[in-house]
Amino acid sequence: MRYTLKSKPKNPIIVEGFPGFGLVGTIATEFLMKHLDAKPIGSIRMEEIPPVIAIHDSVAIEPMGIFYSKKKNMVILHALTNIQGYEWQIADILAKIAKELKAKEIISLEGVGTQGNVKSKSSKAYYISSNTKFKSKCGDPLEEGIIVGVTGALLLRDDIKCTGIFAETHSALPDSGAAAQILCVLDEYLKLGLDYTPLLKKAAGLEANLKGMVSKTQEATDLADKKRQSYFG
């Protein structure tokens, strides 16, 4: 596993989102990339998984692309690939990037599963932060719960500042409403001046595109695994 950076902005905020529940992290980072005019500056490559990429508008999409918004001094990690089983390694890579760029903080955006027939309009946002002054009217502090994956691995580190922002969602469906809840908390924290209206209006199209790319990436990965196993089976 390795990362490459074509440019190295100084003292940025790093925001990351992985597919996970409801594709919330991926939807939120996709929105940030487009509305903060973020440009590609690097990627994270994992030799541990088959080299599968998605194609969108005749352009190859990095499974884990690194983007930079100059006007907000924000580095955004946008992920389309399933990294289950490699969460500790990804957290280590993010920590290395943060130290190299002298980042102020890493912020994780993530959906969390909820029980019952909860619609996105009623989704709640929660946060946990090493910044004791962190407060938000859009969300509540997470006082009890279980955090897994990259976010959990990052929050256990004491060598970097980390904040996790979560929203309730269904695991089976892409959820732009939950992503908007997360972005509300992020916007309030960083004063980004985001307008969520485009996200909600274009939710259906955005969700369909991302779901298709993530689904095809996973299918291709599974197929590559089967072919690789057949060589030795």
Q: 196, exposed or middle or buried, with CB in 10 Å at 0-12, 13-18, 19+?
A: middle
Looking at residue 164, what is its pLDDT?
95
Q: For residue 119, name the pLDDT band (cuts at 50, 70, 90).
A: very low
Please, what are the domains in the chain?
A: 2-203 (3.40.50.10900)
Quick one: 94 exposed, middle or buried, by C-beta within 10 A (0-12, 13-18, 19+)? buried
Question: 92-108 pLDDT, tens per residue?
Answer: 999 999 999 999 999 99
* Total-model pTM: 0.82
Whether the CB-CB separation of 106 and 161 falls below 8 Å is answered with yes
- The per-residue pLDDT for 182 is 93
pLDDT score at 166: 94
> What pLDDT score was predicted for residue 192?
92
Query: pLDDT tens, 44-78?
Result: 988 877 666 667 667 777 889 999 999 999 999 99
Radius of gyration of the chain (CA): 17
What are the two backbone dihedrals, phi and then psi, of residue 164, each rounded to the nearest 5 degrees?
-110, 130
- pLDDT tens, residue by residue, 198-229: 666 655 555 556 555 556 555 655 555 554 44
Q: pLDDT, tens digit, for every residue of 131-175?
A: 887 888 889 998 887 888 899 999 999 899 999 999 988 766 778
For residues 143, 148, 150, 153, the Cα torsion angle rounded to the nearest 10 degrees is: 70
Q: Where are the alpha helices (DSSP H) in 73-148?
A: 87-101
CA distance 77 to 140: 25
- Cα angle vertex 169, ends 166, 170, to 5°? 145
pLDDT, position 146: 81
pLDDT at 115 over 80: no
| % of residues, the chain, pLDDT over 90 | 44
CB 163 within 8 A of CB 107: yes
Q: Report the amino acid identity of residue 71.
A: K
For 173, residues 6+ apart whose C-beta sits below 8 A from its C-beta are 22, 207
3-state SS of the chain: helix, strand, coil percent to 5? 40, 25, 35
CA–CA separation, 24 vs 215, rounded Å? 15
Whole-number Å distance between alpha carbons of 142 and 75: 25
